[in-house]
A and B are shown apart, each in its own frame.
Chain A
Amino acid sequence: MTQTTAIHGEKISLLRVLGPGHVWALGVGIVLVGEYMGWNFAVGKGGAIAALIACWVAGLLYTCVAMIDSEVTSTVAAAGGQYAQAKHIVGPLMAFNVGLFLVFAYTMLEAANAITLGYLVQTVGSMAGFPETHDKPFIVLTIMFLAWLNYRGVYATLTFNLVITAIAFVAIWVLFFAVQPWSSVYMKHGELLTGLPYGWLGVLAALHFGMWYYLGIEGTTQAAEEVRSPARALPLGTMTGIITLLIAATMTWYICAGIMPWEYLGQAVTPLFDAARLTDSNVLMVLLFIGTIFSTLASANGCINDASRAWFSMGRDRYLPQVFGAVHPKYRTPYRSIVFLVPVALVFAYFAPLDQVITFSILSGLLEYTYMAIGVMMFRQKWPLGTIKRGYVHPFHPLPAIVLLLLCSATYFAVFLGYGTQLIAMMVFYIVASLWFALHRYKFVRRGAQFTMPWPKPVGY
């Protein structure tokens, strides 16, 4: 299905040019930066061992997300991903909220990437004898350059992502083998691991940032209208993506926990780059500098792609002002949505601390996963197996949905521990936005046009 938008009376659609490799690059490209920064705040919340447990528990959470997502996405293949799915399964207000979850999870992640890139350039500038190097110009340049790239076209953007993501992934492997994990030349886990400084409560608290290893993998669905074969490419790209990330996350933890004290690791901005510094190898330092820069660029690039598609889809459906539902007549990209989200990312990247920005992103992701667990149960109830054609059927239903719901509940508590105010602030934001939609915005929405799939009437209606 290709949905279109009218520009000057002409119907223009997004281009179907992407393959499974691009889907993998979109998913992993957004998330791989989670190995380069942010995950280590889990060490700060519970210690290094707690962060490893959080890494695997969060991996289980995301395996449930990927299983559920693969079934629903391969059946509802439309731009906007989970937003389009919520429209068909739950209803307009939930869809509006899911659209906002996506936009803010990705825009905050983009801001976090720009902060990290700016910090790294400033650090390396100081190390290279330029102490006056300032991070802010690099933050602005990164966001503006990537927005321009996205404005110009999706194929070039995601091909660029494919290349730089692959380089960033290889850099982690090179560092892993360079620190000789089979010996104690660099790895000092025995001397550096200090048990659980906060006890088992710290393990639970660490789940908050444990999500950062994988947050955004579900973004593969945003390319649904631009993929040549959605039923094959989307599940394949998502599943290989989650496997890639599980491997990279475990290697990253092993390197960092074995080379630096947990008090430093728990507050570091660029832990993998710091690990390379501790090896005294200039080659590794340069490689991990490049890897960090590339991973932040790839992630920010994918985030702009995904956030703008979700914003565009909501504009096209009039959930937001319809001015955002336009496709560029020449580049065939959602250019107005891309441009609108630039100042939002800039303000967050320029003024907010990194852990706050990451927390906003994680909370939006968490709300989205909670919806997905309930949404897939409603999906199976409204269209039982055999009533519609599914590209992929996930096994053991409803077990993955129940596990996902339980893990989400635990993670809300983890965020509450230390970041309770942000949790409430975010909830107030979504409650006010929901009231605004239900009481004001919904009157501009065409009712029947919200359901575009060629399916029978849902059971119970």
Chain B
Amino acid sequence: MAKTPYKPPTQSAIGQTFDTFFLLALVLAALFVPLYLGLAGGGKTMLELKDTSWTGMGQNATMQAQWEKLGFTPGPKTEENATSAAELIAARFDYAFDPVELAVTALVVLGYFFIVFHWSRKEYRDVIDERFNGKK
């Protein structure tokens, strides 16, 4: 005997609106929570530059000429020297990491894919059963 196809309920306009706003809120939270908690870009650091002359910052004559063409100046960044290149030259990434943090992140990514593929397999069986309805 053929299986009766699943009949989904009709969603009300209010339900559709609620679902839409829920997704919107979720997207915005993913962006703004790390930004507001100050965690975004947390892997950056600044070199301590004792000498902020071009040579002191490790810039040779060619580099110096190009910085100047781009409108930058040597020296520490101050209100009077707003075009200083010191901050750009001193900016670095800090790649020191905690192996536990790495393991937790790997676990989250792997766990996510495992759950999604596992759950999908169960749902896919429903789809195939209904689509083919016992036929090959």
Q: Is A461 an interface residue (CB 8 A)?
A: yes
Which of B23, B42, B70, B97 is in CB contact (< 8 Å) with A433?
Answer: B23
Minimum C-beta distance from B89 to chain A (A): 5
- Interface-forming stretch among A169-177, A295-303, A396-404, A435-443? A435-443
Scan residues 412-461 of chain A and give those whose CB is less than 8 A from a CB of chain B. 412-413, 416-434, 436, 438, 440-448, 450-451, 456-458, 461
User: In this assembly, does B125 line the interface, its C-beta being within 8 Å of a C-beta of chain A?
Assistant: yes
- B108→A427 contact, CB < 8 A: yes
A264 touches B40 (CB 8 A): no
A22 surroundings in chain B (CB, below 8 A): none
Report how far A434 CA is from B34 CA in the complex, Å.
Answer: 20
**Interface mask (A193-204 → B, CB under 8 Å = 1, otherwise 0):** 000001001100
Known interface pairs A278-B70, A441-B19. Does A263 touch B105 (Cβ–Cβ under 8 Å)? no
The answer to whether A429 touches B119 (Cβ under 8 A) is no
The reply to whether A261 and B59 contact each other, CB–CB distance below 8 Å, is: yes
Segment with Cβ contacts to B, from A136-144, A159-167, A320-328: A320-328
From 37 to 55 in chain B, residues with beta carbon under 8 angstroms from any chain A beta carbon are 39-44
Whether B116 lies near A93 (C-beta < 8 A) is yes
User: Given A93-B120, A447-B130 in contact, is the A425-B34 Cβ separation under 8 Å?
Assistant: yes
Asked if A443 contacts B9 (CB within 8 A), the reply is yes
A97 to B91, CA, bound (A): 36
Cβ contacts under 8 Å, B106 to chain A? 412
- Across the interface, do B112 and A277 meet the contact criterion of CB distance under 8 Å? no
Q: How far is the CB of B120 from chain A (nearest CB, A)?
A: 3
Within 8 A of A (CB), among B79-136: 85, 88-89, 91, 93-95, 97, 101-102, 105-106, 108-109, 112-113, 115-117, 119-133, 135-136
Known: A267-B88, A417-B93. A426 touches B30 (CB 8 A): yes
Tell me if B130 and A92 are in contact (CB < 8 A): no
Whether B40 pairs with A422 at a CB distance below 8 angstroms is: yes
- Does A356 touch B at the CB level, under 8 Å? yes
* Contact call A360/B116, Cβ cutoff below 8 A: no
The stretch from A12-20, A148-156, A214-222, A340-348 touching chain B is A340-348
A-B interface pairs (CB < 8 A), number: 211
Determine the distance from Cα of A34 to Cα of B59 in the docked complex, in whole angstroms: 28
The yes or no answer to A384 lying at the interface (CB within 8 A) is: no
Whether A90 and B124, one on each chain, are in contact in the complex, defined by CB atoms closer than 8 angstroms, is yes
* C-alpha spacing A287/B136, complex, angstroms: 60
Does B56 sit within 8 A of A, measured CB to CB?
Answer: no
Minimal Cβ-Cβ distance residue in B for A456: B136
User: How far apart are A406's CB and chain B's nearest CB, in angstroms?
Assistant: 14
Distance (whole angstroms) from the CB of B66 to the closest CB of chain A: 5
A104 lies within 8 A of chain B by Cβ: yes
> B109 — which chain A residues lie within 8 A by C-beta?
412, 423, 427
Chain A residues near B20 (CB, 8 Å)?
320-321, 323, 340
Highest count of chain B CB atoms <10 Å: which of A263, A423, A424: A263
Shortest distance from the beta carbon of A316 to any chain B beta carbon, whole Å: 14
With contacts A91-B119, A198-B93, A263-B85 known, what are 17 further pairs, Cβ within 8 A? A90-B117, A93-B123, A201-B95, A278-B70, A280-B69, A322-B16, A347-B28, A355-B41, A418-B41, A418-B43, A418-B94, A422-B40, A424-B108, A434-B116, A436-B26, A444-B9, A446-B6
Can you report 27 residue pairs joining A to B where beta carbons are below 8 Å apart?
A: A45-B93, A92-B120, A94-B117, A94-B120, A192-B66, A205-B93, A263-B91, A264-B85, A264-B88, A267-B88, A278-B69, A318-B11, A340-B20, A356-B31, A356-B41, A413-B102, A417-B93, A418-B41, A420-B101, A431-B108, A434-B112, A434-B115, A444-B8, A444-B11, A446-B8, A447-B127, A458-B128
A-side residues, CB < 8 A to B, are: 44-45, 90-95, 97, 104, 188, 191-192, 198, 201-202, 205, 259-261, 263-264, 267, 274, 277-278, 280, 318, 320-323, 340, 343-344, 347-348, 351-353, 355-356, 360, 370-371, 374, 412-413, 416-434, 436, 438, 440-448, 450-451, 456-458, 461
Interface residues of B (CB under 8 A from A): 5-6, 8-9, 11, 13, 15-17, 19-20, 22-24, 26-35, 39-44, 59-63, 66-67, 69-70, 72, 85, 88-89, 91, 93-95, 97, 101-102, 105-106, 108-109, 112-113, 115-117, 119-133, 135-136
